[in-house]
């Protein structure tokens, strides 16, 4: 049994349960930030438990990892590193995690020594991240003047998710705190173009007939893309980092990865996801851009809390506009806009970080389409023939192919949020003359995620090289 893949699956199930049964999770592991942080801790512990025994030129993440006793079982060390971190992160799930440990098929020789070593490594990794800030909005005082972020008017009690986390967190291994240029706003033609696009492509289905001439509505294929990539902390599904791990698992299986390769690959991918969460959330609350539901409803100066008197509504304003919304899968309730600022897109940043890291791991260096997914089909939990929409209707099963490889996934994942009406297109990337991603401009989550992955790949995944927090 490959212990890395086994415990990766256990970790992904922990995330799914945490978003399905809230009593089964501490608050800190919920939402995309909580998931990405938890996954990084678990996979770094497994990585260091593994390579501190077998050795490798790249070494360990910990600067001074515990020393294993001679004859320590590698399998036992990995299993206990995973079990120890998971029970610390998801204490309410301890009975399930204990059962997973009993079923882990650990060999006899050296199990006791391996067990002790895995626990020691896990505790060292947990100590290294003990001071991370929480994801609550305690003491946060938002600036709500336009065009700053405010809660979704359809879900006004949602609050603000993780406003301090990005700026106050130490990175896991990225050596530079990458930041993006400001997004377009106001009368900038790029902003107006993005507004008109999401007004049509992201509108709630029941309101599509109200679109004015010249605004193109969303197609059925675009709706499918929006749903495929969603994973908005949904009941039964979890968060985007879980889905990106599922895709990387498919890649690893298609290439018959060795345990060495899996230990390294999943540590790199999940550390990239964790640092993507830190730096994306830092930029989100630094730029503080509102979501389309407010930007479209309050485009006219007469609209909103700070509105001024007017006598004619601007053509690009729709005071009653509603998005399709991040899907409330497996729950009968209104869809929603996420409870944090739009720019940059967390989905785009997470996806680019994970997929670019996998591209680098498998030898793809240049920007552009790749062949890493040739012959493969992918199923999203949002469209698996079992998940229901927010009206309680089962969605069909859909198998999706990506002839452009992980590069195409990066782009489609970024675009998907426009089709749900919860993001502006530039939250993901600037569109080039050919209609594809233009990553030469320092705008959007794909650019940020790609830079994070490239940095981690060049830096070699070292705790001692990680950039510190931006603010105390």
pLDDT in tens, 355-409: 999 999 999 999 999 999 999 999 999 999 999 999 999 999 999 999 999 999 9
d(CA 278, CA 425): 21
Query: How much is the average pLDDT of 166-188?
Result: 97
User: 10 Å Cβ neighbour count for 63?
Assistant: 12
Question: What is the mean pLDDT of the segment spanning 224-248?
Answer: 97
Please state which CATH number belongs to domain 145-471: 1.10.606.10
Cα distance between residue 413 and residue 384, in whole Å:
18
DSSP state of 23: G
Q: Reduced to 3 states, what is the DSSP secondary structure of residue 438?
A: strand
> How much is the pLDDT for 26?
67
How does pLDDT run across 90-125, given as a tens digit for each residue? 999 999 999 999 999 898 889 999 999 999 999 999
Would residue 143 be called left, alpha or beta, if left means φ above 0 and alpha means ψ between -120 and 50 degrees? beta
The whole-angstrom distance between residue 337's C-alpha and the CA centroid of its chain comes to: 16
CA-to-CA distance for 126 and 465, rounded, in angstroms?
A: 18
Q: Can you give the pLDDT at residue 419?
A: 98
> How far is Cα 49 from Cα 267, in angstroms, rounded to an integer?
12
**Cβ atoms 259, 2 nearer than 8 A:** yes
pLDDT at 27: 65
Q: Which CATH architecture has domain 1-132?
A: Up-down Bundle (1.20)
Residue appearing with tokens 């600022």: 341
Residue 435 pLDDT grade (very low, low, confident, very high; cuts 50, 70, 90): confident
Residue 324 has pLDDT above 70, yes or no: yes
The model carries a pTM of: 0.97
The domain spans of the chain are: 1-132, 145-471
Rounded CA-CA distance 388/234 in Å is 11
């Amino acid at each position: 049994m490959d212990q890395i893949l086994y415990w990766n699956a256990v970790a992904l199930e922990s995330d799914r349960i945490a978003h399905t049964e809230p009593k089964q999770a501490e608050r800190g592991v919920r939402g995309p930030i909580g998931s990405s942080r938890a996954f990084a801790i678990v996979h770094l512990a497994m990585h260091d438990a593994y390579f501190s025994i077998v050795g490798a030129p790249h070494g360990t993440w910990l600067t001074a990892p515990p020393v294993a006793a001679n004859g320590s079982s590698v399998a036992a060390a990995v299993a206990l590193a995973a079990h120890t971190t998971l029970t610390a992160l998801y204490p309410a799930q301890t009975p399930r995690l204990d059962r997973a440990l009993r079923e882990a098929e650990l060999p006899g020789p050296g199990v006791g020594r391996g067990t002790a070593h895995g626990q020691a490594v896990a505790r060292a990794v947990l100590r290294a991240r003990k001071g991370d800030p929480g994801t609550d909005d305690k003491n946060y005082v938002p600036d709500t003047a336009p065009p700053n972020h405010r809660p979704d008017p359809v879900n006004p009690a949602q609050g603000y998710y993780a406003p301090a986390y990005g700026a106050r967190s130490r990175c896991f291994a990225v050596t530079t705190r990458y930041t993006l240029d400001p997004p377009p706003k106001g009368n900038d033609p790029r902003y107006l173009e993005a507004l008109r696009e999401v007004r049509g492509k992201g509108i709630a289905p029941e309101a599509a007939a109200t679109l004015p001439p010249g605004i193109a509505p969303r197609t059925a294929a675009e709706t499918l893309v929006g749903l495929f990539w969603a994973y908005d902390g949904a009941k039964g599904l979890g968060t985007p980092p879980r889905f990106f791990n599922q895709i990387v698992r498919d890649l690893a299986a298609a290439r018959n990865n060795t345990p060495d390769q899996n230990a390294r690959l999943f540590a790199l991918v999940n550390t990239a996801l964790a640092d993507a969460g830190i730096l994306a959330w830092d930029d989100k609350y630094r730029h503080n851009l509102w979501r389309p539901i407010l930007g479209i409803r309050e485009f006219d100066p007469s609209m909103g809390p700070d509105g001024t008197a007017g006598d004619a509504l601007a053509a690009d304003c729709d005071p009653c506009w509603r998005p399709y919304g991040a899907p409330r899968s497996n729950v009968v309730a209104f869809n929603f806009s996420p409870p944090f600022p739009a720019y940059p897109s967390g989905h785009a940043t997470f996806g680019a970080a994970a997929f670019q890291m996998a591209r680098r791991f498998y030898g793809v260096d240049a920007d552009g389409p790749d062949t890493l997914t040739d012959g493969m089909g992918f199923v999203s939990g949002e469209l698996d023939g079992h998940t229901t929409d927010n009206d309680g209707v089962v969605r069909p099963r859909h198998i999706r192919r990506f002839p452009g490889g992980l590069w195409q996934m990066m782009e489609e994942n970024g675009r998907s949020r426009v089709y749900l009406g919860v993001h502006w297109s530039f939250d993901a990337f600037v569109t080039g003359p050919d209609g594809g991603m233009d990553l030469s401009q320092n705008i959007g989550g794909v650019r940020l995620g790609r830079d994070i992955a490239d940095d981690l790949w060049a830096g070699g995944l070292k705790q001692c090289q990680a950039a510190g927090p931006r603010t105390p």
